[in-house]
Structures are given as C-alpha cells and as structure tokens.
C-alpha cells in the first residue's frame, strides 16, 4: 500500500483524515488495532471520490457505521476506513421518512415518534446506524426493518448511485442483498403509520426497559453473538452447556444473557474469536447444531 499516494489524494481533495487510528474507539466491543487511515465523510461526494480512488489504486476500503456488530482484528485494518457519520440527515413528509445511512438508528426512531409515526418502535435502542440496520435487516420484539423500509439509495461497485426497492433487497433473517453486492448504502426511505405519540413513546420506553433488564449493556459487546438457529435459541443452547460465565482471556459469555460475548476485562480480538470457536465447537459436539456468527470479523488475518 502506498501511504504517500493516499495522503496526497486526501490532502488534495480537502478530506480530513486520521492516520494509524485505533479502532477500539469506534466499535461497541472496544477492541481492535489501528486503521491505516480513518476518514469521517461529510457528504456523498467525498464518499464517491474515496470509493473511486480506492478502486482505481487497488486500496482496501472498509465502510463502518457505529461499529456495533463487528470485531476488529488486533492487527487493525489496512487501507482506508470510512465512517458515514456525515450522512445523517433525516427528513419527514406525511408518513414517509428519508434518512441518511450514517444516522444512528435511535435518532430515526426518535424522529418517527416526534412526528407521531408508528412502526419503528421495535428498533429503539438497537445500537448502530440506519445503513447497518438495513444491511442486517435488524429486528427485535417481532419487528424487522423489512416491515417498514420502502427503498434505498446506494453507491454500486461501478461508482454509480442507484435506487433499489424493498422487493429487490432480498431481505431475510439478518441479511440483505447488500451483504453480497458490494454496495454502500447512502440513504433509506421508510413508510410508517400515523399513530399516537404517547403510545409510540410508551412502547419505545418499554422495549428499552426490557433491553436493559435482560441484556448486558453495562459491558462492551457486539450485541447478539450468534444468529438464531432454526428450532433453537442460541442463548438457551449455550446456557444448557454450562457456558454462562465461561471466559477466554478477557472475553466472557455474559452471566446475564448467554447469547452475548462481552469484553469483560480488556479482551483482545483473539480472546473473543477463541471463545466464539469454543462455544461453536461445544454446541456442535453436544447438540449437533452449528451456531452461525452474527458478529462480523474485520481487518487483517
């Protein structure tokens, strides 16, 4: 990788950046080595320029939201890491909300509630950005992004901005077409229902209360570590195998909710990976069930 070339490009285009930036600051796991370059884009033009530059020069580009569903390698991430925090505009018209991919999901939920729009209550309190929620088809308490999304604008692998409808997104359990097509989500449109703001806020508060009582929010984590296996619950399987509280280095299976691996005591990415592998191997051997990770591994090795 040509560091001088990257610096020249960013400087010439007036794009602010941080070299050798520690990624633990940008993930909810609070784990990870340094990114060669970190950029917080202010607009779609900056993002497009960076994308085209990386494609032309064979430079690795990693796009990150709030880092709420990822584990960054102890060895960091090569190339350029882009944060979409500048793409956070939210506009409301009638029962439609258009939201930038970098906006926190909670901000979108609050905007819906403030405009007496119902349908996003389930998402209140889910960490991460709107873009990340769309990619993963985030869901909780009986609701999913696919229930309310209408269409998405995204940057495709040719550097063109395109629009895709819900029907084309291949939205499924914790997945979408964006997990395979290489597109970078720019904004999303949601169609909601008119409701009573008092009822909407009460429902949001109830869901948040449930999260706090059942999930280990007091520790850094990436949320639910595993996808729900067909016919089972990951947390229940882990608990049945006496793995609640089991630890590897500074990583531990939460004693509050076995479906969460937490950064209990300055865990490394290696600690977390080894613990996840131990859990998967134990459940496979004892129950014949393969637990699929929901957490995404990023970075070197």
> What are the residue numbers of the active site?
174, 224, 294
Specify which residues 184 forms β-bridges with. 155
- Residue among 274, 272, 279 nearest 258 (CA): 279
Question: How many Å apart are CA 67 and CA 63, to the nearest integer?
Answer: 10
- Tokens representing 248 are 């590897």
Q: How many CA atoms lie within 13 A of 245 on its CB side?
A: 3
Q: What angle is formed at CA 175 by the lines to CA 179 and CA 41, rounded to 5 degrees?
A: 50
For β-strands 61-64 and 77-83, DSSP reports them as parallel
Identify the H or E element spanning 278: helix 269-287
Question: How many Å apart are CA 229 and CA 273, to the nearest integer?
Answer: 19
Total residue count of the chain as it appears in this document? 301
């Amino acid at each position: 990788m040509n560091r001088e070339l990257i610096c020249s490009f960013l400087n010439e285009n007036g794009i602010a950046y941080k070299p050798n930036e520690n990624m633990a600051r940008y993930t909810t796991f609070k784990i990870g080595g340094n990114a060669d370059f970190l950029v917080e884009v202010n607009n779609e033009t900056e993002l497009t320029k960076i994308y085209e530059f990386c494609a032309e020069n064979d430079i690795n580009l990693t796009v990150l939201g709030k880092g709420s569903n990822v584990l960054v390698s102890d060895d960091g991430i090569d190339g350029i890491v882009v944060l979409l925090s500048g793409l956070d505009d939210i506009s409301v018209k009638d029962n439609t909300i258009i939201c930038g991919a970098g906006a926190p999901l909670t901000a979108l939920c609050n905007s819906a509630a403030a405009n007496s729009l119902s349908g996003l209550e389930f998402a209140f309190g889910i960490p991460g950005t709107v873009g990340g929620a769309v990619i993963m088809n985030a869901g909780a308490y009986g609701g999913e992004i696919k229930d309310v999304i209408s269409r998405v604008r995204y940057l495709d692998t040719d550097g063109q901005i395109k629009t895709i409808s819900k029907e084309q997104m291949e939205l499924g359990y914790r997945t979408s077409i964006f997990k395979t097509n290489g597109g970078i989500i720019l904004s999303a449109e949601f169609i909601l229902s008119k409701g009573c703001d008092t009822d909407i806020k009460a429902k949001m508060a109830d869901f948040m209360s449930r999260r706090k009582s059942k999930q280990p929010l007091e520790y850094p984590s990436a949320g639910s570590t595993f996808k729900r296996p067909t016919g089972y619950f990951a947390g229940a399987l882990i608990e049945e195998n006496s793995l609640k509280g089991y630890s590897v280095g500074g990583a531990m299976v939460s004693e509050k909710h076995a479906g969460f691996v937490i950064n209990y005591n300055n865990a490394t990415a290696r600690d977390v990976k080894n613990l996840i592998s131990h859990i998967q191997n134990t459940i496979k051997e004892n129950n014949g069930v393969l637990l699929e990770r929901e957490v995404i591994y990023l970075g070197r090795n």
